[in-house]
Structure 1
């Protein structure tokens, strides 16, 4: 059976794409799945996380490849032949270069940080995914429970023509701390709210693909 391809895309930089990719990868490997990462962002943040992970752990527990925009189709096809899940991290843009990363995906995850600007930025990605006939799932990131802004953004996200994950990721320092160490929050050595959020989201994403 060919592996499932999950592309993470968002037009706005700083939305949490790499953090999402890394933490889902860790969650999936801990469930016994064979995971591959494909970094198509020239900044290479996911690749740097992977190298930090390999240096810290020896065996990173997953595979990594890189590709430019137009090499994505070939690379994802190759990785999907040997892995259960392929997670594709993309640059912050919504133009024709993004389309190859969307085209082969069984699901497109769109992280949305808690601001109206971030919500506006989703429109371009959702439009491209719609043209490619790809299902999308919005993921609310850096949420602040109980705030007016949180409620407003969540409400408007629910009105968009896209799926909306029930699980959300809170505005927690541990996400940045563990990312810099080449780890996921599930590997922080303690049970935390962040870990519970990632586990819930990973189950929801798997159910969708």
Structure 2
């Protein structure tokens, strides 16, 4: 299955989710390839930091920030159980190619009015792709939620107005995710019994449910 994490707005945590989803799947015994389709190359930077620290390689990582992504990703998918695409912000052509490559699309959104407004552009691109791929399924993933804020508590209600569902699993704003990004590690490696580790596990459980 090819899962693309896409949002035209930057800074929503796509790379953090992509690396953690890929890592969690790998730790469950799946073969995984992470495609970094963001020209900034943040996911590849994460894997390089991991290698520099001598940490074990969990999954393959390939830089593929080009508009032929929809042609190349399915070929890579033949060599892995899952392909995770860390998509680009603000590049519609690349996002369209990622959409055409994907079986499932995850749209990370932070609980802020700006993120909710910006998600409309991504929904529009998705609906265009579904004309050619009617089986393409997508959902919002609430990320970096701060439970003490009003918008954090009301974000799910706000997403109810959108034409796509939101996953039940949520990932909250936690320091361990920043620490893991800096060191090329997963939250479950830094803090195995942490809430962050459990949130990622629940998210992957729900994603795997898309296969059935």
Fold agreement, TM-score > 0.5: yes
Number of residue equivalences: 206
Determine the C-alpha separation between the residues in 1 that align with 2:16 and 2:66: 20
* Partner residue in 2 for 1:21: 18
Q: CA RMSD in A?
A: 1.4
Matches within 5 A, 1:49-88: 49-88=46-85
Instruction: State the 1:33 CA deviation.
Output: 0.4
Q: Which runs of 5+ in 2 are unaligned?
A: 131-135
* Partner residue in 2 for 1:154: 156
Select 1:7's aligned residue among 4, 7, 25.
4
Structure 1 runs of 4+ aligned residues shifted over 6 Å read none
Instruction: State the 1:48 CA deviation.
Output: 0.2
Q: Say if 1:26 and 1:186, in contact at 8 Å, map to a contact too.
A: no
Matches within 5 A, 1:107-146: 107-133=104-130, 134-146=136-148
Determine the C-alpha separation between the residues in 2 that align with 1:25 and 1:68: 18
Q: Say if 1:114 and 1:143, in contact at 8 Å, map to a contact too.
A: yes
Q: Which digits, 9 at most, give the CA deviation of each residue in 1:39-86, with x for residues without a partner?
A: 111110000001112222453121011113312123312210110010
Q: Say if 1:69 and 1:98, in contact at 8 Å, map to a contact too.
A: no
Q: Say if 1:25 and 1:35, in contact at 8 Å, map to a contact too.
A: yes
Instruction: State the 1:126 CA deviation.
Output: 1.2
Determine the C-alpha separation between the residues in 1 that align with 2:94 and 2:41: 16
Instruction: State the 1:97 CA deviation.
Output: 3.0
* Partner residue in 2 for 1:166: 168
Determine the C-alpha separation between the residues in 2 that align with 1:100 and 1:12: 17
Determine the C-alpha separation between the residues in 2 that align with 1:63 and 1:203: 21
Instruction: State the 1:94 CA deviation.
Output: 5.6
Q: Say if 1:5 and 1:86, in contact at 8 Å, map to a contact too.
A: yes
Give the match's secondary structure for 1:73. helix
Output the TM-score relative to the length of structure 2.
0.92
Q: Which digits, 9 at most, give the CA deviation of each residue in 1:99-125, with x for residues without a partner?
A: 110012111111001101001111111
Q: Say if 1:107 and 1:135, in contact at 8 Å, map to a contact too.
A: yes
Determine the C-alpha separation between the residues in 1 that align with 2:91 and 2:210: 23
Residues 57 and 74 of structure 1: CA distance in aligned 2, closer, same or farther (over 3 Å): farther
